[in-house]
Amino acid sequence: MNSILSSILGTKNKLINLNSHDFEKQFSDDKNSVLLDVRTPMENAEERIPNSILIDLYSPNFAKEIEKLDKTKSYFIYCRSGNRSYHAGRQMINMGFEKIYNLESGIIGWHGEVESEY
């Protein structure tokens, strides 16, 4: 449903919440996409979606790191439960990013592949 609505309404300057299936599909279909993990380094080491970039929302350098990113790309953001990634996405929209997708259930609701450092 979200993908249908976003197609009709467009995604300019909006944060789109997606379930695990739609998040994975849209990310894999979008060749101009970046996967961001906004959790802590410890959480990321325990379990993460492969090929994600870690930029910790709680880091004092979060905004500086986000500002370095290409605003023309699509960003698929996740955290543990969807809350931090939602707030990170809102901040990115306010910084001028246009295509932000949030994994609404976070990694705890993720049904795709994961990896770990342990």
pLDDT given for residue 118 in this prediction = 82
Cα angle vertex 57, ends 56, 61, to 5°?
75
Point out the residues of the chain with pLDDT beneath 50.
1, 3, 5-9, 11
Q: Provide the whole-model pTM.
A: 0.88
pLDDT given for residue 7 in this prediction = 47
Give the count of alpha carbons within 13 A of 94, CB side only: 7
| Residue at token pair 């979060």 | 62
pLDDT given for residue 1 in this prediction = 46
Percent of the chain whose pLDDT exceeds 90: 86
pLDDT given for residue 5 in this prediction = 47
pLDDT given for residue 93 in this prediction = 96
All domains of the chain in start order, with CATH: 2-109 (3.40.250.10)
